[in-house]
Structure 1
């Protein structure tokens, strides 16, 4: 399954995420993104990953935790809809999730291990889907959403946060550069 979803398959507020996802084999896109995220984060020290570019902004550790939590939630939605379950699925409050988690108390290595485990599970799920599964639709956060839209939203969401990490965190004049 490599075909991008139409604009009728997801809420309009996800359009910016969709624009970030290139054409290609969906499984290959998930695997490549996992390599990119791993490469981006594995060299960070805990001090660097504890950086936030503003007083009311998440730390890098919190961004990674948010990516992992969001993937868990969206993959559950994807699974539920792919299996034909018509139960309306709730939204979630990302800030509340980050606030309740102790991502800043975790190491970069443990956050990255969680991310990789969740991504491996998502890839296995995506690989298991057949053509009919991809086009199924269900209700998530009060919007009709398709299985393939959820997969692309996952990819676009992470690309969005990669951009923020590069533009606002790593490019910040106050980012703690490793001075060895």
Structure 2
């Protein structure tokens, strides 16, 4: 099954329900889902690059690379900024990081630690901040804190699905 490209995705943030506690659970579960999915996977598979696309390690490293952006965008909303800080749409940080040279454990523990920092910041905000917003620079739509972190959870799942596809292409579809 072919996955929609991330930059081709459309998002609709119209719900007025406060589902933020569920979003926090979803975000908090991503490190464990990655660890479970990759338990016992060989280095050859972790660094296999089909069609010059990112490897499994690079997908994990990308999640680590973007976490400071999500943390910064939370600060933008808290600070009352009109627009969220932009990102590097070419993902240069990930392309230059050489994540394949890092151990899987280092990548997974790095992601777990930086995500823990994000969750600590999110658990410290009140309901008013959950519904505060700023304009997303690429999508040109207002994003509340809740919407931003739905977006982050969707981004996590996008890369988890990509990793699942990479594993299946290497004979590891039982993961």
TM, length-normalised to structure 2: 0.77
Check 1:94–1:71 CA distance in 2 against 1; reply closer, same or farther (3 A cut).
Answer: farther
The structural deviation recorded for 1:33 is 2.5
The structural deviation recorded for 1:41 is 2.7
- Post-superposition Cα deviations, 1:93-146, rounded to whole Å, max 9, x if no partner, equal 243222211111111111111111111011111111101101111133253322
CA distance in 2, matches of 1:149, 1:95: 22
CA distance in 1, matches of 2:56, 2:157: 15
- 1:28 and 2:47 are equivalent in the alignment: no
Corresponding residue SS for 1:55: helix
User: Counterpart of 1:68?
Assistant: 64
User: Counterpart of 1:93?
Assistant: 89
Does the aligned pair in 1 maintain the 2:23–2:153 contact within 8 Å?
Answer: no
Unaligned runs of 5+ in 1: 1-10, 17-22
For 1:15-164, list aligned pairs within 5 A. 15=11, 25-52=22-49, 54-86=50-82, 88-142=84-138, 143=140, 144-164=142-162
Unaligned runs of 5+ in 2: 1-6, 13-18
Does the aligned pair in 1 maintain the 2:77–2:84 contact within 8 Å?
Answer: no
Q: CA RMSD in A?
A: 2.5
The structural deviation recorded for 1:162 is 1.2
Does the aligned pair in 2 maintain the 1:71–1:118 contact within 8 Å?
Answer: yes
Higher relative contact order (CA 8 A, sep 6+): 1
- Post-superposition Cα deviations, 1:31-60, rounded to whole Å, max 9, x if no partner, equal 2233212212343333321112x2321111
**Number of aligned pairs?**
157
Corresponding residue SS for 1:97: helix
Does the aligned pair in 2 maintain the 1:136–1:146 contact within 8 Å?
Answer: yes
The structural deviation recorded for 1:88 is 4.8
User: Counterpart of 1:8?
Assistant: none
Corresponding residue SS for 2:120: helix
